């Protein structure tokens, strides 16, 4: 089965990102494919490389990056949601004349069309959030 | 940033709006998905249930809360070929609203019809 995943909530505040990660990991282990993980609303905050959770806690952004590295998963932050919330990649940094970027490894910023495409291409699109 | 799909696949998309228009950003950002999605020539329907029916309330004024009055955008959806708007009757009635209180033309359906609409849809966004 080809899955698309939509994460609508930020890390730590809400279980959505944890559940999405555990689902994606379990699906891959069972031989399924993740077409894309799309992060929307506060979900874009999952893509910051500047998070420093306590050492005895899970590192949510790093965990996504590692999963993407191991299994070549497409992690996409919505550009409109990212701009509002200060999530910046090197291109956005230049375009909006910011003095830094903060995107974690293997995440990229792109348009909402990527979410629609996931809806069309995946056999199931699963939303994690309230 | 218009993107196109070359697959030619057309699916039944349903955007379910469940939340009040203000107080959280969900409703506003949901509408942004609808507008972008309209460029992809899919079969799009919008459903309004629970507090989501307030999104369509006429004469909204957000000037005192310093947020964007995006309710005006619903009237423009027709230009994007988004024409199927469904409102759940029970949600309207339990909030003291009538069809006349809404800013756009909708089809009011009861919860069993809403259930069928959801069941018949292929891609569901739940905001």
Which of A78, A79, A82, A118 is flagged as catalytic? A78
Answer whether A120 touches B (CB < 8 Å).
Answer: yes
| Average pLDDT rounded to a whole number, residues A61-88 | 98
The interface pTM score, or ipTM, of the predicted complex is: 0.92
**How do the domains of chain A map onto residue ranges?**
2-124
Quote the tokens at residue B28.
């506003």
CB contact under 8 A, B123 and A113: no
For helices A113-121 and B26-37, what crossing angle results, to 10°? 70
Residues of chain B neighbouring A41 (CB-CB closer than 8 A): 25-26, 29
What gap in Å lies between CA B18 and CA B54, rounded to an integer?
Answer: 9
Give the dihedral sign, CA B51/B57/B63/B66: positive
Q: Which residue has the tokens 């191991």?
A: A70
Is the pLDDT confidence value at B4 over 60? no
Residues A76-125: tens digit of each pLDDT = 999 999 999 999 999 999 999 999 999 999 999 999 999 999 999 999 99
Identify the structural domains of chain B with CATH numbers, from first to last: 12-126 (3.40.1260.10)
Residue of A nearest to B8 (CA): A120
Q: Which CATH architecture has domain A2-124?
A: 3-Layer(aba) Sandwich (3.40)
């Amino acid at each position: 089965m080809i899955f698309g995943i939509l994460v609508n909530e930020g890390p730590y505040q809400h279980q959505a990102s944890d559940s999405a990660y555990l689902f994606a990991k379990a699906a891959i282990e069972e031989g399924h494919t993740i077409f894309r993980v799309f992060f929307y609303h506060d979900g874009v905050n999952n893509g910051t490389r500047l998070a420093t959770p306590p050492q005895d806690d899970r590192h949510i952004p790093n965990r996504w990056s590692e999963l993407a590295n191991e299994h070549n998963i497409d992690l996409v932050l919505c550009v409109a949601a990212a701009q509002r919330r200060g999530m910046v990649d090197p291109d956005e940094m230049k375009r909006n004349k910011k003095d830094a970027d903060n995107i974690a490894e293997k995440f990229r910023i792109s348009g909402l069309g990527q979410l629609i495409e996931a809806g069309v291409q995946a056999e199931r699109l699963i939303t994690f959030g309230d | 940033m218009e993107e196109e799909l070359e697959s030619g696949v057309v699916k039944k998309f349903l955007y379910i709006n469940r939340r009040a228009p203000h107080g959280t950003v969900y409703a506003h950002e949901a509408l942004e998905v609808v507008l972008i999605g309209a460029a992809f020539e899919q079969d799009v329907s919008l459903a309004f249930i629970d507090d989501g029916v307030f999104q369509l309330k006429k004469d909204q004024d957000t000037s005192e809360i310093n947020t964007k009055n995006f309710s005006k955008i619903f009237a423009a959806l027709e230009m994007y070929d988004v024409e199927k708007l469904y409102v759940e009757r029970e949600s309207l009635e339990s909030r003291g609203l009538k069809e006349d209180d809404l800013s756009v033309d909708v089809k009011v359906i009861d919860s069993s019809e809403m259930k069928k609409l959801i069941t018949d849809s292929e891609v569901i966004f739940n905001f």
